[in-house]
Amino acid sequence: MKLGIVGLPNVGKSTLFNSLTKAGAESANYPFCTIDPNVGIVTVPDERLKLLGDMYKSKKVTPAVIEFVDIAGLVKGASKGEGLGNQFLANIREVDAIVHVVRCFEDSNVVHVDGSVDPLRDIETINLELIFADVEVLERRVAKQGRAAFNDKKIAKEVECIKRLIEHLEAGNLAISFECEDEDEEAWVASYNLLTYKPVIFAANVSEDDLADDGASNAYVGKVREFASANNSEVFVICAQIEQEIAELEDDEKQMFLEDLGLKESGLDKLIKASYHILNLMSFLTAGEDETRAWTIKIGTKAPQAAGKIHTDFERGFIKAEVVNYKDLLEQGSLSAARDKGLVGMEGKDYVVQDGDVILFRFNV
């Protein structure tokens, strides 16, 4: 999973990236301190892995990971090359979802690029730049397909779809809200890799005082939540400065620090949950003496395709999947004991993998 962290300059974007990844991207109180995209890999916390790894005495425990890309700050005109716009747009096309950091705090010491705090204006600024960039991509495609459309009904149908999509975008809407008329149109729109077709998670960056009630008393956060609700997006409340402090602590100290602040989980935990939810993802597990590991797949994935996440040969030569729920496995203490209790299923090609399944794949190539 690859998430792009975006936002206007000085909204707390790089501070958040640093705290999430401990990668130390330069963070300063001026625009464009992040010139090259900084990439950090974050492991997904999963208590199930540790418990299974201990049970099997695994030599290696490998969690799922998320790749974060901190992308240069945007300004108005980015789609036309203002600031670092073109570089921003190229980097963001590669991500699965966008984490849009929005400033929801007042601080006279931190300059806002537009002179005042207004999260909806900030969201609109970035959305408009993404829309302009998408329109440009689509117009080039119409120009390319235009001649062929005279002799090919399917291409002609696609060109009409693109023109409707351009109108939708030019009205200030995002591609993700475009209503396709059939499966062909759905496939075409998905294939264009449009920036405004990507799922968005808003990170409402607040002051420490607004953390305890999850931003409920912060009017800026309320506006972001309303906007997100209307646009099928996720929101989580974070204080980038606090996250930076948490990042410096050992695991046992982190929990105490969170409790002192009246928090149940860190911003990273919130973000991971939001990203799995918006991308419709879950994890299945493999366990043994050599390695215990989490594998991230789409909800609804069938056993052979899940096997293919481990190795293409597993999918190609799939025979059966030996499946047990991780809780049952831990309670019984071994796979053989779980088998004896009838808790292990031998599943075929139509089995839909469930979150927390521990699977042993049988294959032959």
Q: What is the 3-state secondary structure (H, E, C) of 204-253?
A: EECCHHHCCCCCCCCHHHHHHHHHHHHCCCEEEEECHHHHHHHHCCCHHH
Please report, for residues 113, 140, 198, the alpha-carbon distance to residue 10 in angstroms, rounded to integers and kept in the order given: 7, 34, 23
Report the SS3 class of residue 203.
Answer: strand
Q: What CA dihedral angle connects 346, 349, 351 and 352, to 10 degrees?
A: 140
- How far apart are alpha carbons 88 and 4 in whole angstroms? 10
Name the amino acid, one letter, at 309. Answer: K
Report the SS3 class of residue 8.
Answer: coil
Place of tokens 């808003």: 202
| Predicted local distance difference test score (pLDDT) of residue 81 | 56
Q: Using an 8 Å Cβ cutoff, are 236 and 203 in contact?
A: yes
The backbone torsions φ and ψ at residue 203, rounded to the nearest 5 degrees and listed phi first, read -105, 105
- How far apart are alpha carbons 39 and 340 in whole angstroms? 47
Query: Is the torsion defined by CA of 272, 275, 277, 282 positive or negative?
Result: negative
pLDDT digits (tens, 9 = 90+) for 5-26: 888 887 888 888 888 777 544 5
Q: Whose CA is closest to 9, among 26, 269, 316, 223?
A: 26
Strand partners, 209: none
Can you give the pLDDT of all 365 residues of the chain as single tens digits?
A: 899 888 888 788 888 888 877 754 454 444 444 445 577 888 888 899 999 999 999 999 999 988 888 876 565 665 565 544 556 667 778 899 999 999 998 877 765 666 678 999 999 988 988 898 899 889 999 998 877 778 888 889 999 999 999 999 999 999 999 999 999 999 999 999 999 999 999 999 999 888 888 889 999 999 999 999 988 899 999 998 888 888 888 877 888 888 888 888 888 888 889 999 999 999 999 999 999 999 999 999 999 999 999 999 999 999 999 999 999 999 999 999 999 999 999 999 999 999 999 999 999 98
Q: Whose CA is closest to 314, among 329, 299, 302, 300?
A: 302
